[in-house]
């Protein structure tokens, strides 16, 4: 596996003050929303290597958004900035008064991107949605995203409404990283089979440090859950609790975490535990003490298979994934002898 | 808000309660789980917010014909803009602290009935109200009093407030010597540590000096430093409420026994809705533990909200105990253990023994035993109380 392939260049761009660095700090550096007031303006480009899922490194270029910088990006720095881009994340400030001008800049960036990295993914975040009255949010967001699409040349653009003050931020970023994870299909196939074996309504895989949803599978019953934003709400809830735990055990948020969490209620049982080195697994199982314990046991067994195979396959590509058969073998074994 | 009683009927809420209602509505707009959320943690939350509605409707003008209710009463008093309504909203209505900026000034006494493990009323007084004028029936206000909570804005000039408090104490004391007087030295989040201590001492000194000058020595006044932006106000309210619980020492003994036998570092018995703890073991209170326990309740309640939707095709896979139970092990092997006790209460413990993981069965069993004892304590003290309490202990007995 060559190093180039594992490092994925992610450009974070947008007008000055639109909230690029704030988002980055909350998602990747364990800031809480109100801490971002301390951040100053980004000068030129801040490079950071964000480790995601262990050995998938995101090479994040946080590009300062002041007009002077934008001009250099598009002129003298053009080749340097826009080559080898895997993902462009462009942030629009919903409160901006110069919508037309923002779109012109965006269009210029898109053109530059098309020139140097035509295969990049483009994500547009319509940010600071909390400043819009709740009843207008959906409409304004849809209008804005239609305009953005019309200026995106032939790129297929994913747009998200986001705000650092609620879970929408996690939704946007989970969508972004979802695209970056290699062999996702294999992971999902494994999880689907696994969920079926343990009768789970839902299985979610969270990245360890960011608590972003990597992927999830639901059973037919789990699909009926009326709360569609539950994944990002979970990210939000768990991350808030992680901060609380860090504060009160006198460690940094980065090193705080959960070993395991069990929750049994008359309506559902939930298990949250470390799955691989870089992920937490979150199981939702229908009530029933015995079958819950069985599911937990099976998860533990599957995990062993997971990480063993990962070590054997020389690191894998981003996600230490065993060949699915091995893992399923373990799951079946576990199913055979319940506690 | 209109003053006509008709308007009250159609929209029986004071302005700030209206906002708070939106908050609940937001949480409840999900179609399924609203119908029959069986998880009682949640039931509790919703039940409370609904019950609060009719009582709000009654909150008319001050002199209220003496009702038969003998619920203990918490009076929130203090100068205007000292933070009384904010405290009431944050503690009893789960309003996020930064939203209290938008609260309007209270113009009439807000009576709030809290239906929880024990029923009590919170009366939020407008700061400018002269309740010692003849128009007010003192008996009506202070009659079934539990505690008088006096809020002092520590960031403001507090001499006025102290003088007024002393006047109040002296008057009330003559007629109702049994009341607890609790002084919240409030908004201390804005003060530096050093200044905070100075202010605290100054206020305590002034009050006790003036009271003893008036010939009232050793007044039963308790002081708390509070802020709505951290847990101190919950902590202070917990202390205030605990004094109103008739069987507190029994509860504490029970919890102590449980904590000693299970090796809990700290155990709290929480009221799920307000996150006030009504009893804890008698080890010194540790703010860090309290914060984690309190936040963990939030985690469980929030997650429950996401997954307790109701649908006919959702089938159980087997038998399970009816009460919610949860625990989490943190990175440093600290374990937080939560167990639902009844509709209103849950027991949250912090365990710092790495071996606890393997002895969970034992811990669970001990907690169940505690649960039985707890419900026995409560059922007795409420035998003459409302029927709702009886039903609650019956469900919890299962």
Minimal CA separation from B265 to chain A, in Å:
14
Beta bridge partners of B338: B326, B348
pLDDT of B19 strictly over 60: no
Q: Which has more pLDDT, A51 or A191?
A: A191
Answer whether B295 sits within 8 Å of A241, measured CB to CB.
Answer: yes
> Residue A57 — pLDDT band, cuts 50, 70, 90?
confident
Average pLDDT of chain A, as a whole number:
81
| CB within 8 Å of chain A, chain B residues 247-306 | 288-289, 291-292, 295-296, 298-300, 302-306
What percentage of residues in chain A have a pLDDT greater than 70? 86
Say if residue B89 is in the same domain as residue B208.
yes
A199 Ramachandran zone, left/alpha/beta (phi>0; psi -120 to 50): left
Per-residue pLDDT tens digits for B205-248: 988 888 888 887 777 889 999 999 888 899 898 888 888 887 88
Q: B4 lies in a domain?
A: no
Domain finish residue from B192, B220, B244: B244
pLDDT at B12: 35
Minimal CA separation from A244 to chain B, in Å:
6
Q: Is B189 helix (H, G, I), strand (E, B) or coil?
A: helix
**Length of chain B measured in residues:** 398
What percentage of residues in chain A have a pLDDT greater than 90? 4
**CA B13 – CA B50 distance, rounded (Å):** 12
CATH number, position B378:
3.30.450.190
Residue A291 at interface with chain B, using a CB cutoff of 8 Å: yes
Per-residue pLDDT tens digits for B348-389: 999 888 887 788 888 888 888 898 888 888 775 544 444 443
pLDDT at A68: 87
Q: B90 lies in a domain?
A: yes
Domain annotation for chain A: domains and CATH numbers: 5-177 (3.40.50.300), 183-309 (3.30.450.190)
pLDDT of B324 strictly over 90: no
Q: Residue B226, Cα to own-chain centre: how many angstroms? A: 14
ipTM: 0.80
Minimal CA separation from A142 to chain B, in Å:
22
Residue A251 at interface with chain B, using a CB cutoff of 8 Å: yes
| Distant-in-sequence, close-in-space partners of B100: CB < 8 Å, separation ≥ 6 | B83, B85, B86, B89, B90, B228
The structure tokens 């039903």 sit at B391
Say if residue B295 is in the same domain as residue B210.
no
Contact indicator for B190, B97 with CB cutoff of 8 Å: no
pLDDT at B268: 92
Q: Which has more pLDDT, B30 or B223?
A: B223
Contact indicator for B217, B159 with CB cutoff of 8 Å: no
Say if residue B260 is in the same domain as residue B356.
yes
Among the partner residues A245, A248, A262, nearest to B327 by beta-carbon distance: A262
| Residue B89: both structure tokens together | 């909203």
Say if residue B293 is in the same domain as residue B330.
yes
pLDDT of B394 strictly over 90: no
> Residue A193 — pLDDT band, cuts 50, 70, 90?
confident
pLDDT at A215: 85
Q: Is B177 helix (H, G, I), strand (E, B) or coil?
A: coil
Domain finish residue from B200, B229, B244: B244
Q: B60 lies in a domain?
A: no
Q: B32 lies in a domain?
A: no
Contact indicator for B335, B327 with CB cutoff of 8 Å: yes
Say if residue B214 is in the same domain as residue B354.
no
pLDDT at B184: 93
Say if residue B208 is in the same domain as residue B344.
no
pLDDT at A271: 92
Say if residue B221 is in the same domain as residue B272.
no
Q: Which among B146, B88, B116 is positioned nearest to B269, based on CA atoms? A: B116
pLDDT at B18: 33
Per-residue pLDDT tens digits for B166-220: 888 888 877 777 788 899 999 888 888 888 899 999 999 988 888 888 887 777 8
Q: Which has more pLDDT, B22 or B78?
A: B78
What residues make up the domain containing B288? Answer: 248-307+322-382
What percentage of residues in chain B have a pLDDT greater than 90? 9
CATH number, position B129:
3.40.50.300
The pTM for the full model equals 0.77
Residue A254 at interface with chain B, using a CB cutoff of 8 Å: no
| Residue B182: both structure tokens together | 């609790």
> Per-residue pLDDT averaged across B245-271, rounded?
88
Rounded to the nearest 10 degrees, what angle do helices B248-262 and B360-381 cross at?
Answer: 170
Q: Which of A146-155, B76-85, B111-120 is predicted least confidently?
A: B111-120
pLDDT of A172 strictly over 50: yes
**CA B172 – CA B47 distance, rounded (Å):** 35
Find chain B residues with C-beta within 8 A of A230's C-beta: 306-307
| CB within 8 Å of chain A, chain B residues 316-335 | 316-334
Among the partner residues A224, A227, A245, nearest to B306 by beta-carbon distance: A227
The structure tokens 């403001």 sit at B156
**CA B340 – CA B39 distance, rounded (Å):** 10
pLDDT of B30 strictly over 80: no
| Residue A216: both structure tokens together | 């999830």
Q: B278 lies in a domain?
A: yes
pLDDT at B185: 92
Strands (DSSP E) along B24-143, which ranges? 73-78, 110-114, 120-124
Say if residue B211 is in the same domain as residue B298.
no
| Distant-in-sequence, close-in-space partners of B201: CB < 8 Å, separation ≥ 6 | none
Find chain A residues with C-beta within 8 A of B306's C-beta: 225, 227, 230, 233-234
Say if residue B137 is in the same domain as residue B219.
yes
Find chain A residues with C-beta within 8 A of B324's C-beta: 263-266
Q: Residue B44, Cα to own-chain centre: how many angstroms? A: 14
Per-residue pLDDT tens digits for A258-286: 888 999 888 889 999 888 878 889 999 88
Among the partner residues A230, A244, A269, nearest to B292 by beta-carbon distance: A244
> Per-residue pLDDT averaged across A106-123, rounded?
89
pLDDT at B347: 92
> Per-residue pLDDT averaged across B39-52, rounded?
41
What is the domain count for chain B?
A: 2
Say if residue B86 is in the same domain as residue B161.
yes
Q: B204 lies in a domain?
A: yes
pLDDT of A2 strictly over 90: no
> Per-residue pLDDT averaged across A60-80, rounded?
87
Say if residue B142 is in the same domain as residue B179.
yes
Q: B360 lies in a domain?
A: yes
Per-residue pLDDT tens digits for A208-262: 888 888 888 888 888 888 888 888 889 989 988 988 888 888 888 777 888 889 9
pLDDT at B36: 35
> Per-residue pLDDT averaged across B289-304, rounded?
89
Say if residue B134 is in the same domain as residue B95.
yes
Nearest CA in chain A to B313: A221
| Distant-in-sequence, close-in-space partners of A309: CB < 8 Å, separation ≥ 6 | A320, A321, A322, A323, A326, A327
| Residue A195: both structure tokens together | 């969920």
pLDDT at B223: 92
> Per-residue pLDDT averaged across A161-178, rounded?
86
**CA B258 – CA B372 distance, rounded (Å):** 12
| CB within 8 Å of chain A, chain B residues 178-207 | none
> Per-residue pLDDT averaged across A322-337, rounded?
39
| CB within 8 Å of chain B, chain A residues 223-242 | 224-227, 230, 233-234, 237-238, 240-241
| B335-340 vs B345-351, strand pairing mode | antiparallel
pLDDT at B201: 92
pLDDT of B35 strictly over 90: no
Q: B151 lies in a domain?
A: yes
């Amino acid at each position: 596996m060559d190093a180039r392939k594992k490092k994925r260049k992610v450009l974070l761009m947008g007008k000055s003050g639109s909230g690029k660095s704030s988002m980055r700090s909350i998602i990747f550096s364990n800031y809480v929303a109100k801490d971002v007031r301390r951040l100053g303006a980004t000068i030129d480009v801040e490079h950071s290597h964000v480790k995601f899922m262990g050995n998938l490194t995101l090479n994040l270029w946080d590009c300062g958004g002041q007009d002077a910088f934008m001009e250099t990006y598009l002129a003298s720095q053009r080749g340097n900035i826009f080559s080898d881009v895997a993902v462009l994340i462009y942030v629009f400030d919903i409160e901006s008064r110069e919508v037309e001008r923002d779109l012109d800049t965006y269009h210029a960036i898109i053109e530059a991107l098309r020139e140097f990295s035509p295969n990049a993914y483009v994500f547009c975040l319509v940010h600071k949605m909390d400043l819009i009255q709740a009843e207008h949010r959906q409409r304004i967001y849809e209008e804005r995203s239609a305009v953005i699409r019309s200026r995106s040349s032939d790129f297929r653009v994913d747009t998200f409404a986001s705000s650092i003050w609620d879970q929408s931020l996690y939704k946007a970023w989970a969508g972004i990283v979802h695209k970056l994870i290699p062999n996702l299909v294999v992971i999902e196939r494994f999880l689907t089979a696994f969920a079926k074996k343990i009768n789970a309504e839902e299985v979610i895989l969270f990245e360890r440090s960011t608590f972003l949803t990597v992927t999830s599978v639901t059973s037919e019953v789990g699909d009926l859950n009326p709360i569609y934003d539950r994944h990002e709400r979970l990210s939000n809830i768990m991350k808030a609790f992680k901060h609380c735990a860090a504060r009160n055990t006198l460690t940094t948020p980065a090193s705080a975490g959960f070993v395991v969490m069990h929750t049994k209620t008359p309506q559902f049982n939930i298990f949250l535990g470390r799955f691989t080195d870089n992920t937490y697994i979150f199981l939702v199982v229908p009530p029933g003490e015995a079958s819950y314990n069985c599911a937990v046991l099976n998860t533990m067994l599957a995990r062993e298979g997971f990480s063993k195979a990962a070590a054997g396959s020389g690191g894998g590509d981003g996600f230490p994934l065993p060949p699915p058969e091995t893992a399923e073998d373990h799951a079946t074994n576990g199913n055979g002898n319940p506690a | 808000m209109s003053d006509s009683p008709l308007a009250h009927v159609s929209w029986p809420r004071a302005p700030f309660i209206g906002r708070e209602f939106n908050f609940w509505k937001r949480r409840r707009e999900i179609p399924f789980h609203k119908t029959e959320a069986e998880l009682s943690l949640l039931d509790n939350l919703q039940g409370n917010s609904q019950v609060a509605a009719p009582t709000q409707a009654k909150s008319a003008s001050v002199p209220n014909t003496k009702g038969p209710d003998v619920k203990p009463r918490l009076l929130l008093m203090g100068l205007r803009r000292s933070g009384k309504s904010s405290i009431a909203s944050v503690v009893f209505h789960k309003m996020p602290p930064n939203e209290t900026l938008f609260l309007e000034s209270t113009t009439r006494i807000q009576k709030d009935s809290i239906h929880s493990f024990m029923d009590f009323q919170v009366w939020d007084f407008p700061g400018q109200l002269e309740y010692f004028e003849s128009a007010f029936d003192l008996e009506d206000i202070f009659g079934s009093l539990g505690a008088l909570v006096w809020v002092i804005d520590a960031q403001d000039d507090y001499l006025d407030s102290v003088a007024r408090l002393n006047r109040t104490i002296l008057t009330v004391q003559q007629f109702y010597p049994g009341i607890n007087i609790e002084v919240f030295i409030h908004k201390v989040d804005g003060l530096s540590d050093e200044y905070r201590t100075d202010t605290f001492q100054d206020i305590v000194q002034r009050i006790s000096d003036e009271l003893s000058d008036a010939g009232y020595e050793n007044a039963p006044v308790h002081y708390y430093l509070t802020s709505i932006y951290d847990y101190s106000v919950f902590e202070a309210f917990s202390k205030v409420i605990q004094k109103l619980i008739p069987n507190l020492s029994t509860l504490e003994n029970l919890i102590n026994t449980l904590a000693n036998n299970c090796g809990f570092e700290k155990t709290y018995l929480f009221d799920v809705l307000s996150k006030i703890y009504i009893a804890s073991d008698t080890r010194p209170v540790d703010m860090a533990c309290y914060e984690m326990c309190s936040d963990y309740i939030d985690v469980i309640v929030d997650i429950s909200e996401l997954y307790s939707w109701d649908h006919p095709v959702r089938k159980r896979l087997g038998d399970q105990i009816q009460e919610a139970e949860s625990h989490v092990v943190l990175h440093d092997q600290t374990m937080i253990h939560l167990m639902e006790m009844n509709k209103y209460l849950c027991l949250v413990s912090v365990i710092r023994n790495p071996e606890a993981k393997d002895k969970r069965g034992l811990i669970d069993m001990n907690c169940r035993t505690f649960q039985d004892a707890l419900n026995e304590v409560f059922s007795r003290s409420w035998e003459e109380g409302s029927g709702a309490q009886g039903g609650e202990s019956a469900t919890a007995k299962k």
